[in-house]
């Protein structure tokens, strides 16, 4: 009998235990049990059924789950053109006003210009400054073919590629016995040795140079150049340099450094010779003038090129460039008159042209004032600047 009583009382205790644990169950436990359909709880007081929860219960469960799991959504909104223009830094006054298309050649992906592209502009990181382009109106264009696009975009990516301020470095010593390149005539410099240093009555220092070939000359510090290859940290746009002639390694010509190496010019230096000839060269081919003048253009003979260089250095690093393609024809000044020519090759900021009358070939800068379209643009630009100054 005692055994039977024990067996009989066990279910009562189990039921009693279920009742007690049901009473102390919290509200949060009930919600969790509801989410699990109350099928596996060890403390159930209500038998599990196959009934579907009510719509009200489903609605509550759904709202609870939405409140716990949240998904971030990013909405992209295209800004109006006027807001985009307002965010750009100011640019120089331009000949064209329409914004460049997104498909322009200003892309970091390309290294060399395409065959059908006359420009090799690349985008800037964090500080891009680029003008629009627009065909000029018929009243400003007297030629039959459409005027070329004229751009004025930031030239390079970082400040050390666009620097036009002379670095604050100690001057290299020049003494008797130093080998130099010295001016013999305006467009002809030669290698020689300093044999004497002479101080004039007005305090100016002169250098007597004995040339390797023949003769001597007494020259100023801005008419001698170092015979050694310059260091990169010494170079800047506007440096007065002397370039070794390709056809005669013993002769040199003076010029002005006009571009530092960048991806836009395939890591080359651009130098404008004093006769307006542009050349892309490597570092070993040019030399720094020892004591350049404060204003580099003062060392250039009076000519249209002198005015061009002054404007070029003023505009840098936003030089004006025309955009031509191979095969395109236009007028270029030659021997004081405009003559018809055709583009043969476009190489970054320069292009090779051939004149139709005599088949004369030469390289010319795409911003040269010898180009009829560029001359008109510079004339209009100068007139506007004069009007702005007068106001």
CA-to-CA distance for 258 and 255, rounded, in angstroms? Answer: 9
pLDDT digits (tens, 9 = 90+) for 289-305: 999 999 999 999 999 99
Q: Judge whether residue 34 has pLDDT over 80.
A: no
pLDDT of residue 42: 39
State how far Cα 135 lies from the chain centre: 24
pLDDT digits (tens, 9 = 90+) for 220-266: 999 999 999 999 999 999 999 999 988 888 889 999 999 999 998 99
pLDDT of residue 248: 83
pLDDT digits (tens, 9 = 90+) for 143-155: 445 667 777 766 7
114-129: average pLDDT: 36
pLDDT of residue 157: 61
User: With bands split at pLDDT 50, 70 and 90, how would you rate the model's confidence at 40?
Assistant: very low
pLDDT of residue 106: 33
User: With bands split at pLDDT 50, 70 and 90, how would you rate the model's confidence at 59?
Assistant: very low
User: With bands split at pLDDT 50, 70 and 90, how would you rate the model's confidence at 73?
Assistant: confident
CATH class of the domain at 161-315: mainly beta
pLDDT of residue 222: 97
Q: Can you tell me whether residue 379 is helix, strand or coil?
A: helix
Query: Greatest CA separation found in the chain?
Result: 143
CA-to-CA distance for 50 and 252, rounded, in angstroms? Answer: 101
Q: Judge whether residue 57 has pLDDT over 50.
A: no
**Check whether domain 320-389 has CATH 2.30.30.140, yes or no:** yes
Find out whether 131 and 94 touch, Cβ atoms under 8 Å: yes
pLDDT of residue 154: 63
Region(s) of the chain under CATH 2.30.30.140: 161-315, 320-389
Nearest to 347 by CA among 245, 279, 291, 271: 279
Nearest to 195 by CA among 217, 210, 174, 212: 210
**Can you spell out the DSSP letters for 177-233?**
T-EEEEEEETTEEEEEEEEEEEE-TTS-EEEEEEESSS-EEEEEGGGEEESSPPPGG
pLDDT digits (tens, 9 = 90+) for 127-138: 333 333 333 333
Question: Cα–Cα distances in Å, from 169 out to 205, 232, 236, 291, 384?
Answer: 21, 12, 12, 13, 39
State how far Cα 231 lies from the chain centre: 23
The chain-wide mean pLDDT, for the chain, equals: 73
Q: Can you tell me whether residue 367 is helix, strand or coil?
A: coil
Q: What percent of the chain has pLDDT over 90?
A: 45
pLDDT of residue 87: 54
Q: Can you tell me whether residue 358 is helix, strand or coil?
A: coil
User: With bands split at pLDDT 50, 70 and 90, how would you rate the model's confidence at 5?
Assistant: very low
How would you classify the pairing of strands 205-211 and 240-244?
unpaired
Phi, psi of 178 (to 5 degrees): -75, 135
């Amino acid at each position: 009998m005692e055994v039977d009583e024990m067996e009989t009382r066990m279910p009562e205790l189990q039921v009693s235990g279920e009742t007690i644990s049901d009473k102390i169950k919290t509200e949060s436990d009930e919600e969790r049990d509801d989410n699990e359909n109350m099928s596996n709880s060890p403390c159930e007081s209500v038998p599990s059924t196959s009934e579907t929860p009510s719509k009200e219960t489903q609605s509550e469960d759904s709202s609870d789950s939405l409140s716990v799991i949240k998904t971030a959504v990013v909405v992209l909104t295209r800004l109006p053109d006027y807001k985009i223009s307002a965010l750009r830094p100011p640019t120089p006054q331009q000949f064209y006003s329409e914004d460049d298309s997104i498909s322009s050649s200003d892309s970091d992906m390309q290294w060399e210009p395409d065959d059908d592209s006359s420009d090799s502009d690349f985008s800037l990181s964090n500080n891009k400054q680029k003008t629009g382009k627009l065909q000029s109106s018929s009243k400003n264009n007297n030629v039959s073919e459409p005027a070329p696009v004229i751009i004025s975009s930031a030239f390079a990516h970082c400040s050390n590629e666009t620097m036009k301020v002379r670095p604050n470095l100690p001057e290299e010593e020049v003494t008797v016995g130093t080998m130099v390149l010295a001016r013999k005539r305006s467009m002809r410099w030669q290698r020689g040795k300093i044999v004497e240093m002479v101080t004039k009555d007005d305090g100016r220092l002169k250098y007597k140079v004995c040339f390797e070939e023949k003769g001597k000359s007494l020259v100023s510090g801005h008419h001698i150049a170092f015979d050694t290859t310059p260091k990169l940290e010494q170079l800047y746009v506007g440096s007065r340099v002397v370039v070794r002639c390709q056809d005669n390694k013993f002769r040199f010509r003076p010029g002005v450094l006009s571009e530092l190496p960048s991806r836009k010019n395939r890591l080359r230096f651009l130098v404008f010779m004093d006769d307006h000839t542009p050349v892309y060269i490597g570092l070993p081919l040019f030399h720094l003038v020892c004591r350049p003048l404060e204003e580099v253009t003062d060392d250039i003979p009076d000519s249209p090129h002198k005015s061009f260089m002054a404007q070029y250095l003023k505009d840098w690093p936003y030089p004006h460039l025309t955009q031509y393609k191979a095969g395109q024809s236009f007028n270029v000044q030659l021997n004081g008159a405009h003559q018809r020519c055709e583009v043969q090759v476009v190489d970054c900021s320069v292009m090779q042209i051939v004149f139709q009358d005599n088949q004369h070939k030469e390289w010319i800068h795409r911003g040269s004032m010898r180009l009829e379209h560029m001359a008109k643009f510079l004339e209009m630009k100068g007139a506007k600047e004069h009007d702005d100054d007068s106001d």
